[in-house]
Structure 1
Amino acid sequence: MKLPKLDLSIQKSCKPAMLGRMWQASRRALNLEHSPAHQFACSQWQSSPHPSTVYLIYRWLFFVSVVSIGVASFSCQRLPRLYEGPKVELNYMKWFIYFTNWGYLLIALQAGLALAVLHRYRAQKFNSPCEEDEIPIPLGRRARTPLLCRAYWLSHNIATDLAFVISLVYWALVHDPKIHEVNALNVLVHGGNSLSMLLELAVTSHPVRAAHALYSAGAGLAYGVFSAFYWAVGGTDRIGRPAIYPALDWNKPGSAFGFVALCAVVMVFAHALATFVAAARTRLASRMRARNHADRLALPTH
């Protein structure tokens, strides 16, 4: 009769411990701590742990290109060529109400932060390789990842997911041939954004954690809240319509809520794609290094 009581007491004591381990695992998955921190300043394809000159050139070219396209998008605003509605005067500041431009600002932000991280670590010397530590170290026993690196990692994750979702949603649901022109600038901000972040995923060396999808989904929900507030105070789009996007018309709250929820779900799948690309990049680079190392160790055949 005593054994069941003992088993029951063990089960009761195990529950808090199990919940504690689940909480710690969730906390580790969601945090923005990563070691070594200088991995954020490196490319996956360099052999040295020190930030390379080639990667520095790439980072500057990427930053200048993204900022130039963003400036062109802001300064070249005009009514659609096929627009036949009443004459309206464009308010350039309404550029900031569009989800596309939120996403593009995040691409520019992460590009600037990546450049700042690289310059921070370029003057330092490292003996450890620019790869993730294989043995996990408890958070309390290691130095925290610098705020600059955490800010870059967060903005990179969100910018990547937003770019994929923006390209998909725009061409599938938003683009209207009667209003929107298919020109170079339109293609760059609604297609080039995703290509840019795919390039970033292929070049950078830091990981993409699956749990960080919550941050991107939160960013999408934040835009939904903004659009509802903007509608509530009487805001209009650039040609005077009450909804920023036809699919996000808060005069029809049911469909608007559904659209926001759909975007949040798609954001999670977009993050899954980013996680897969980053993992494939890491595995391919590891195989190439192992093959090159084996070739150097191979004995001559003559």
Structure 2
Amino acid sequence: MSAIKRYFREEAKVQMLVLGHPKPSDFYLSVWQTTRSAVPLLIWRSFLFLVSLGVVLASLILYILASKAGYWFIYLTHWGLTINTFATGFAVAVSARSYLYGPIVDEEEELNHALDVSVHGVNSLVMFGLLISASQPSRMWHIYQPLQFAILYVIFSAIYYAAGGVDASGNRWIYSVVDWSSPGMTIGVVALTGLLLAVLHFVVMGLAVARNALASKLFHDSVTVHGQEGVPLRRRPSQLHTSNA
């Protein structure tokens, strides 16, 4: 219990609201590895990115073939897929940057069933895979990030309704439970969704803590990849030549 209190006491600090983190290696080294190579996470993240991109493209192409491409952009699920693709893409970029140029230091540097399952299920599995394979922390105060995303979509849906927008079937709503012709019920659904989002954020925090604890238990003290920030991830050819000499 004391460990839990200590954890939340640390997370509740106001400085946790910012995006800074003292260990840059947490963003390109997996908690599950015992080396300082950026390759394992680069390969894994590349796979997750390709899966995300494939689902987005497959979904969008089907909408284009059905001559309903414009409606693809009105669904929250598709917004989520796009965010997932960007998230995995940036993760690949971070890993690739670390592999090609060395450690990042603290200073700032430069419409069928299968598709339905993919856009609602595979995206969750992809983000879960991204979470459990990394080392970066999940901050309590960073709940403002998913809330911002949700609020932006709520505003969009209201503007879309007010402008006379319809879904691919001609309905005045994008989702039947978010029907702005019944604003009272819609606001209630939005509030309940916000509460659920907060709960899920704490679930993600718990998964990140469990991930670190499990990796530490499995590898014990051999997990030293995060001990020395700025240590080269791999030797350069010139270094190998000097060493052999």
TM-score in terms of structure 2 length: 0.79
- Is 1:46 aligned to 2:33, yes or no? yes
Aligned to 1:35: 22
Superposed CA deviations along residues 23-72 of structure 1, whole A, max 9, x for unmatched, are xx654121110122232111111112341x22222122111111011100
Pairing partner for 1:122 from 82, 88, 99: 99
Contact 2:34 / 2:222 at 8 angstroms: preserved in 1?
no
Structure 1 unpaired stretches of 5+: 1-24, 80-88, 131-141, 148-179, 294-302
Partner of 2:136: 206
- Equivalents in 2 of 1:234, 1:187: separation in Å? 30
1:103 to 72, 80, 85: 80
Deviation, 1:280, is 0.3
For residue 177 of structure 2, give the secondary structure of its aligned residue in structure 1: helix
Query: Match for 2:52: what amino acid?
Result: V
Q: Is the 8 A contact 2:49 2:88 kept in 1?
A: yes
Alignment of 1:1-302 (within 5 A): 26-51=13-38, 53-77=39-63, 90-126=67-103, 143=106, 183-290=113-220
Distance change >3 Å, CA 39–CA 239, structure 1 → 2: same
CA distance in 2, matches of 1:49, 1:291: 15
Q: CA RMSD in A?
A: 2.5
Inter-CA distance 232–144: structure 2 relative to 1 (3 Å threshold): farther
| Structure 1 position 279, deviation (Å) | 0.4
The residue type equivalent to 2:118 in the other structure is L
What CA distance in whole angstroms lies between the structure 1 residues aligned with 2:220 and 2:158? Answer: 53
Q: Distance in 2 between matches of 1:225 and 1:203?
A: 34
Q: For 1:231 and 1:279, locate their aligned partners in 2 and report how far apart those are by CA, in whole Å.
A: 41
Deviation, 1:192, is 1.4
Verify the 8 A CA contact 2:48 2:130 in the aligned structure 1: no
Distance 2:148 2:44 in 1: 30
Q: 2-side partners of 1:210 and 1:289: how far apart?
A: 27
User: Distance between the aligned counterparts of 1:144 and 1:212, measured in 2?
Assistant: 21
Q: Which has the higher contact order (CA 8 A, sep 6+)?
A: 2
Partner of 2:6: none
**Residue 291 (structure 1) shift:** 6.3
Which residue identity lines up with residue 168 of structure 2 in the other structure? R
Find the aligned partners of 1:284 and 1:93 in 2 and give their Cα distance: 45
Out of 95-104 and 117-126, give the one that drifted further.
Answer: 117-126
2:229 aligns to what? Answer: none
8 Å CA contact 2:143, 2:198 repeated in 1: yes
**Structure 2 stretches lacking a partner, 5+ long:** 1-11, 224-245
* Paired residues of 1:90 and 1:239 also in contact (CA < 8 A): no
Counterpart CA distance in 2 for 1:106 and 1:146 is 23
CA drift at 1:112: 0.7
Name the CA shift for 1:260/1:280 in 2 (closer, same or farther; >3 Å): same
TM-score, L = length of structure 1: 0.65
Q: Show CA shifts across 1:237-294 (max 9, x none).
A: 111111111111101111111111111111111111111111000011111221658x
| One-letter identity of the residue aligned with 1:281 | R
The offset of 1:124, in angstroms, is 3.9
- The residue type equivalent to 1:98 in the other structure is Y
Which letter does structure 1 place at the counterpart of 2:215?
A
